[in-house]
Amino acid sequence: MFPNLSETLSVSRIGREILLIRVEIGIRKGLPNFQILGLASQNTKESRDRLRLAIESAGFIFPFATIIVNLYPNHKPKKVSFFDLAITLGILEASGQWQNPFPQRILALGSVSLSGRIHASEELLELLWASPKTRETIFLIPSELRERHLPEANYIYLSSLEEIKEIDWLPEIITFPPLEETEPESTWDKEILNPSQMLAFSGLCYSLLGRHHALMVGNPGTGKTKLAQLVSQMQPSWQPSDLNLDEGIPLSARYCLNGKVKPRPFRQPHHTTTEQALVGGGSSLTLGEVSLAHGGILFLDELTLFREKAIESLREPMEAGKIEHARVLTRETLPADCTVIAALNPCPCGNYLGIKTCHCSKKQIRDYLRKISGPFLDRISIHIHLFNQNESRTVEVVREDYRRKLNEAMDFRMARLVEERKREVFSSPAERMNGGFEKSLLRFSYRQKQNTMQLARTIADFNLSSTVKEQHLLEAYEFVQNSLFFEDLN
């Protein structure tokens, strides 16, 4: 007696790799037995009894026979998957209780409860975005996702197994709708700053525009944390290129909700955060803070209290905008293109160069700052000093004005880059350098010189200038040369 066979499609994820899975079902006469083969996850193996009750609750008959489920390709582990719906449909088709109206075209994703209800989750939505799509593929997904922002494809929605015989099997074509960005939550509308804070605020605005990393050094109470939190609510709007990244699971899957884009992320991990929690990894390859802040800000307050290895682990993602994790069987690349903003005190007591008396020796200060290595500092373009100088607060900052200016500058910057690519002519700030200015860069490393040029270009964009002027170069130089503070302590 030949077994009754059926096939259903689904998807699984290993790290960031997306696999198209063929769920093969075989039913033959024999002792009641239900096996799932093909390196299924523990969650999938535990679904056997649940699916038996779900099928019976929906009014179908669970076959009193030997049932073999094979997940092909069966040599790869299926870590993140939602095979419940695909396995259930395969059993019903192989037992003759349901006929697939679109053989080899339906890709089923969903979790099945004991009552036969079909459920979704955020992980399922990410998997849906990352699934391979063709004109012929029809996604069978939970009805819960009908109101969510979905990629362009053909869909059939199912809320329970009971609907299998009743629903209209006419696929609904979803086209990619224009995304609307939700306004970031605002805790401030207007602030009054002193001149030093205003200079730091301008530097952080340049950091947001040009994705330059920034470091604030200053005495306690000078507003370092406050300034970082202010600019976190002023981040520029998402650009279309930001939401269509070739990274396995697109950015839009994580930051879109009901057709609206969440604001750019702002992550502020505690200084006790481990190296793995910061950059990701582990046996299941989880995302770290640097990846969760992708496209936004990673704020490291009290930088010298972080573990030295954790700080050094940021060097590669700060420069490359991604991080590669190598394992025995796989190598994965995780997105990590965020703006790192850090803040620290200049000495253990925090009063060095401030109005209060500092009781720290030069050796104590050097030991305190030893965690911050030269290569790490080299990757920071904007160095900001905030020391107590009894300045009165006289500068008014209106949030909406600066956020509008940032968005205008971002549009100007993107248009300039497009135009320069077309003409294959790129503006060079070095053309504005004179001999005296070149001599002032002698103490800079090659990367610091590049940081100065790139920051000058960003400052010109912020001022909607198509050319880099001398004042833009001088302002950029002031921010970069503040890094010599660490060298002068030696």
Q: Which of 151-155, 293-297, 420-424 has the lowest mean pLDDT?
A: 420-424
pLDDT for the residue 247: 47
Please name the residue that has the structure tokens 């604030």.
216
Which residue has better confidence, 383 or 427?
383
pLDDT for the residue 425: 58
DSSP for 193-259, please give it: E-HHHHHHHHHHHHHHHHT--EEEEE-TTSSHHHHHHHHHT-PPPPPGGGGS--SSS-HHHHHEETT
Angle at alpha carbon of residue 186, lines to 185 and 192, rounded to 5°: 165
Please name the residue that has the structure tokens 């339906």.
106
Record the pTM: 0.80
pLDDT for the residue 15: 66
pLDDT for the residue 301: 95
Model pLDDT for residues 38-96, shown as the tens digit of each residue: 988 888 989 999 999 999 999 999 999 999 999 999 888 887 789 999 999 999 999 99
For 15-140, where are the alpha helices, taking DSSP H only? 42-45, 47-57, 84-94, 122-130
| pLDDT mean over 261-271 | 90
Secondary structure percentages of the chain, helix, strand, coil, to 5: 35, 20, 40
| Max CA separation in the chain (angstroms) | 92
Which residues pair with residue 260 across a beta bridge?
A: 180, 257
Whether 245 has a pLDDT exceeding 50, the answer reads: no
DSSP for 31-44, please give it: S-EEEEESSB-HHH
Q: Please, what is the average pLDDT of the chain?
A: 86
145: Cβ contacts below 8 Å, ≥ 6 apart: 120, 124, 125, 128, 157
Report which of 47, 8, 318, 278 is spatially closest to residue 139, judged by C-alpha positions.
Answer: 8
- With bands split at pLDDT 50, 70 and 90, how would you rate the model's confidence at 1? low
d(CA 180, CA 250): 17
- Fill in the DSSP letter of residue 456: H
Model pLDDT for residues 349-395, shown as the tens digit of each residue: 999 988 889 999 999 999 999 999 989 999 999 999 998 778 888 89
Identity of residue 422:
K
Please measure the distance between the N-terminal and C-terminal CA atoms of the chain and give it in whole angstroms.
Answer: 85
- With bands split at pLDDT 50, 70 and 90, how would you rate the model's confidence at 440? low
Report which of 109, 147, 143 is spatially closest to residue 129, judged by C-alpha positions.
Answer: 109
Torsion sign across C-alpha atoms 382, 385, 278, 314:
positive
Bond into 73 cis (ω within 30): yes
pLDDT for the residue 249: 47
Tokens of 89: 């449909």
Report which of 307, 303, 273 is spatially closest to residue 289, judged by C-alpha positions.
Answer: 273
| pLDDT mean over 142-148 | 87
Which residue has better confidence, 443 or 270?
270
Map out the domains of the chain with their CATH numbers.
4-174 (3.30.230.10), 190-488 (3.40.50.300)
